Amino acid sequence: MSKLAINGGPPVRTKLFPAYNTIGLQEKEAVMRVLDTGILSQFLGACHKDFYGGPSVQAFEKQWAQTFGAQYAISVNSNTSGLIAACGACGLQPGDEVIVSPYTMSASALAPVFYGAVPVFADVSLNDFCLDPKSIEANITPRTKAIIVVHLFGQPAQMDAIMQLAASYNLYVIEDCAQAPLAKYKNNYVGTIGHIGVFSLNYHKHIHTGEGGVIVTNDTQLAEKLYLIRNHGENVVEAKGITDITNTYGFNFRMTEIEAAIGIEQLKKLPHLIQQRQDNVNYLNNHLAKIPYLQLPVLHQQNSPVYYVQALKYLPLGKPIHRNTYVNALRAELPSALMREDTPLLAYGYVKPLYLQPFYLQRGHSCSFNCGKYHGHATYHKGLCPNAEQLHYSDLFTHEFIRPGMTHADLDDVAEAFFKVYENLDELMLPA
């Protein structure tokens, strides 16, 4: 008789895990205070004090800057908008190249295209899943203008080596911290190490405002450009006496007063929520480290990851069992969570390497490739980044069981499921 649930045995658990919901009474009260004013946004696309937004927006930005130790925090309506604004502030132009990660959400690589620049994919490290500095350097050319570093899954990239490269080649560094608020590289918060850092407040991140994002920088000139790009900068450059108007034409990337009010309350909760994720990972690791075919991420002792998800590598140790089969077996043992009933909390791979998307394979219809100003040789094809492909197609899987709200009893069920599959792995080799 089969013991594994995937083969008909009883699962370890059927009761849904707790929901992850960071919104509470404090956020509701904050929203009501804004609604009572009748002012849901106070931005003006003109040279006026309200060019910088209303009181909630400005208060939220001030608190974010203080929390992260940055001189400037500029709120936007999404992390994607923040990345686009960051690329514009760095002065990207048609013909420029930007080194990006192939293993990340698509906007992290696509943002340079809005200014006619060309994404060049460097490979990721098999240890921390972030950009590999050696691959970055191998892809630098005279056309390279910037590097977009993604702190994937809440794990800091190798920033010392990356910043050394940036200094040697006179490159901007944009940090995509969508999954890494309050993560530390050595003694510094990610996002404050490069020239610009961008954070996400999308609904499934550590904290959220529904949609939203925040950009941080310590550079006054970059901050001015970011403000202009956020809010119809073409209307104010003359009045402000700005003579370098490169990329200062503005979008509408503005955050509302309601989102900012929610963000103020969410930010207060962030340290405690991060601590819970770290505690849950440490608790689970004490169990999972005993399973020989699992490899935990290799972390620098001085780094402090914040675990958007827990990423693990599956090593079959000679058994003819594919990672997807293994993950499916785990899924059968464990349910999802309240508010996520139809979505498994375990996933194989992350995203297909971005250079295999039709946009890159067909070179889109973007000026980046077709305006005649690009004289480089960026290529997009299978095999371009072997580490990213190995992780996606065979090695990497992630889970969300480390979210705040999980009790030790819940985590014990997760560990039991991992051990049950480990102890009965041979069942997965039986013919269907």
Which positions are catalytic?
205
- Residue 149 is which amino acid? V
Helix (H, G, I), strand (E, B) or coil at 100: strand
β-strand pairing of 310-314 with 294-295: antiparallel
Cα separation, 234 vs 240, in Å, equals 11
Residue 316 burial by Cβ neighbours in a 10 Å radius (0-12, 13-18, 19+): middle
Cα separation, 204 vs 82, in Å, equals 17
Check: CB of residue 83 under 8 Å from CB of residue 108.
yes
Cα separation, 146 vs 360, in Å, equals 19
Check: CB of residue 159 under 8 Å from CB of residue 136.
no
Residue (of 133, 184, 135, 127) closest to 156 by Cα position: 184
Q: How many CA atoms lie within 13 A of 272 on its CB side?
A: 7
What DSSP state is assigned to residue 337?
B
Question: Which residues, other chains included, contact 94 with Cβ-Cβ below 8 Å and sequence gap of 6+?
Answer: 115, 116, 117, 367, 368, 371, 373, 374
Check: CB of residue 343 under 8 Å from CB of residue 336.
yes
- Residue 311 is which amino acid? A
Cα separation, 175 vs 162, in Å, equals 11
DSSP for 364-432 reads TT-HHHHSS---S-----TTSSHHHHHIIIIIEEEE-TTSTT--HHHHHHHHHHHHHHHHTGGGGGS--
Tell me the residue length of the chain.
432
Helix (H) or strand (E) holding 165: helix 159-169
Tokens read off for 65: 């800057």
Residue recorded with tokens 């906007």: 107
